[in-house]
Structure 1
Amino acid sequence: MKSQQSTQTMKPATAAKKLGVYLPATPAEFQEGAVTRAELNRLQSEPPEWLRALRQDGPHPRPVVAEKLGVSIAGLARGGVTEALTTEQIEALKRERPEWLERERATQAGVRKEAARLKDLRKENAGQG
């Protein structure tokens, strides 16, 4: 007996997240239909103009904004940033260097430093056992 392989699909929100783009800024046809795994792979390997433009200029979803600013998503919220931002808006924040951004960057640097310390400690303990 031969089993028929079904086409794996995902919601547009999931595909947008995987592509790193802000769903409301995508074309209507992208927002309205399911996206197959093959379509997602094609979008990733051969991005159409709308996807290239969104990745370059935004608006960007909060995880991308947080990454570009070097802070956590929670840090964005503490700084009052709750909406998607364009690349231009992100660059303006980098130039202005508001107090909340500097504070959140310092916090994020501390978190990374502690994570690295714990990783080294685990590696050291694994070597002794």
Structure 2
Amino acid sequence: MTSHQTTQTMKPATAAKKLGVYLEATPAEFQEGVVSRTELNALQTDPPEWLVELRRTGPHPRPVVAAKLGISISGLARGGVTEALTTEQIDALKQEQPEWLQKERATQAEVRKETARIKEKNAERADEPRGPQA
């Protein structure tokens, strides 16, 4: 008996998310088709020019914008950024340093510090010797 393996496919939105690109900026043939796991792997290992350019100049999806600005996606929303931004727009925001961006970066720094503190505390707790088991 031979096993028949079906090709695993995904919607373009899922593939765009995995590639870290804004779906609406991808070529029409990418948006309208389905992407197989093999095609996704090929796009990741040997990206075509449109993908390289999109990653370099954008527009970028909100998770990428947030990461480039060093803030959370929620912080973007609080700052009024709801659309995809280009690299040029992101660089302009970094230059301008609006008050909301400074505040969100400070908030993100506090979150990271607290996360590190909790991780360290949990590691210490895991290293503590335990009493005899009954």
Q: Report the TM range for the smaller structure's normalisation.
A: over 0.9
Q: Which residue of 1 aligns with 2:42?
A: 42
What residue identity is the alignment partner of 2:2? K
Where does the alignment leave 5 or more consecutive residues of structure 1 unmatched? none
Gaps of 5+ in 2: none
1:105 aligns with 2:105: yes
- Aligned pair 1:24/2:6, yes or no? no
Query: In the aligned structure 2, how far is the partner of 1:89 from the partner of 1:74?
Result: 19
CA RMSD in angstroms, aligned pairs only: 0.5
Q: Which amino acid aligns with 1:58?
A: G
Deviation above 2 Å: which 4+ runs of structure 1?
A: none
Q: Counterpart of 1:80?
A: 80
Q: Structure 1 residue 17: deviation in Å?
A: 0.2
In the TM superposition, residue 97 of structure 1 has moved relative to its aligned partner by 0.1
TM-score (norm. length: structure 2): 0.95
Partner of 1:12: 12
> Aligned residue pairs: how many?
129
Looking at structure 2, the residues matched to 54 and 121 of structure 1 have their Cα atoms a distance apart, in angstroms, of 41
Letter in 1 for 2:52: R
How much has 1:4 moved relative to structure 2?
0.2
TM-score where L is the length of structure 1: 0.99
Percent identity for Structure 1 against Structure 2:
74
Paired AA for residue 75 in structure 2 = G
